[in-house]
Amino acid sequence: MTSSEEFRRASPYEEFAGLLKELCERDGALIALIGKIHLSLPSELEQSLRPLIGQRLSILRTNLPDKPYLFRVLAQESEDSRQ
C-alpha cells in the first residue's frame, strides 16, 4: 500500500470509475483501490463495497447530507457490443 499522501479524497461531484481491486483500512479510513487510484472513503462504506470487489463500479461524492457517496456497478461490456 502507498503512503497517505498518495490517497485521493473525492471532492463534491467528483466521480471515480474502474475495477474495484481491493479494500483495506488505514488510519480509520477505508482505502479502495479502483484501477490505479487509492481512494480514501468513509469506513462505513466497507460493508456495501466489499461484495463488489472484482467488479467495475463508479463512486460519486455528493453534497447530500444523508448520502455523501453514491456508487453503482457498471455493466460489463460484452464481446458483441465491442465489434
Confidence (pLDDT) at 77: 57
At 17 the pLDDT is 97
Tell whether the model's pLDDT for residue 80 goes beyond 50: no
pTM, two decimals, is 0.81
Q: How many CB atoms lie within 10 A of CB 38?
A: 19
pLDDT confidence of 63, banded at 50, 70, 90?
very high
> Residue range 8-18: average pLDDT?
96
Q: Domains along the chain? A: 4-74 (2.40.50)
Mean of per-residue pLDDT scores for the chain: 88
Name the grid cell of 58: 463508479
**Set of cell numbers at residue 24:** 483495506
- Please report, as a single letter, which amino acid is at residue 36: K
Q: In 3D, which of 59, 80, 55 has the Cα closest to residue 69?
A: 59
Quote the pLDDT of residue 38. 97
37-55 pLDDT, tens digit per residue, is 999 999 999 999 999 999 9
DSSP 3-state assignment of 55? coil
